[in-house]
Chains A and B, each alone.
Chain A
């Protein structure tokens, strides 16, 4: 049973470009979460999605960041007009159900903004 898949594993962008991070949840999981790990900081929740719905985006920056989880295909975290402060590791997790259910993490995407 494949785990949570994320790609790319490493992404380099110049300031002002767009970054697209992809996440395929574990088989059978319909709940997806995105977290960000900034250098020298802990992991912070960004957004929680179910298929075709954003359930909780309370941790997402109001501008430049968006997330989706379409009916078909992976979840996408999109960062427009990246800035150096966006450099971080972005982790996706999935769970079978919501509400205190165990979340299983992918290997992460390391974004570097030059």
Chain B
């Protein structure tokens, strides 16, 4: 079956530090890959996505590149802000029938950015 493995948290950084949150996946075929962000007490917001190998998703200074050879989709940001403090989820939707509709999530990584 499909699975997503995320870097264990929590992660605490100072403002303007560089951020990397690792994400690797297992899936048959070529899944679509997503990063969602969840602020306290809220739902999940789509941060970025990539649908095929070597695609780079980007939004609000965050980037992630779909690496088929390493089955990875690591999230990066060059300079984090206090407002980036949230839980980040890596997720995939598979291509095989039956899995092509449900998101499979990683366990989430709590990020805290200190001023």
Q: Are B101 and A107 in contact (CB under 8 A)?
A: no
Choose from B43, B45, B95, B108 the contact partner of A100 (Cβ within 8 Å). Answer: B95
Q: Does A91 interact with chain B (Cβ within 8 Å)?
A: yes
B51 touches A100 (CB 8 A): yes
Q: A42-B108, A91-B44, A107-B42 are in contact. Are A100 and B32 (CB under 8 A)?
A: yes
Distance to closest chain A CB from B92 (angstroms)? 9
A86 to chain B, nearest CB (A): 19
User: What distance in Å separates the Cβ of B21 from its nearest Cβ neighbour in chain A?
Assistant: 14
Q: Which residue of B lies closest to A109 (CB)?
A: B43
Chain A residues lying within 8 Å of B73, measured Cβ to Cβ, are none
> A55-B101, A56-B102 are contacts. A105–B34 as well, Cβ < 8 Å?
no
Task: Write out the residue numbers on chain A whose beta carbons fall within 8 Å of the beta carbon of B103.
Answer: 33, 35, 43, 45, 93, 103
Bound state CA distance, A38 and B98, in angstroms? 23
Given contacts A98-B101, A105-B36, are A42 and B43 in contact (CB under 8 A)? no
How would residues 30 to 72 of chain B score, 1 for a CB under 8 Å from any chain A CB and 0 otherwise?
0110101000001111100101000000000000000000000
Residues of B whose CB lies within 8 Å of any CB of A are: 31-32, 34, 36, 42-46, 49, 51, 89, 93, 95, 98, 100-108
By a beta-carbon cutoff of 8 Å, the part of chain A in contact with chain B is 4, 6, 31, 33, 35, 41-45, 48, 55-56, 58-59, 91, 93, 98-100, 102-108
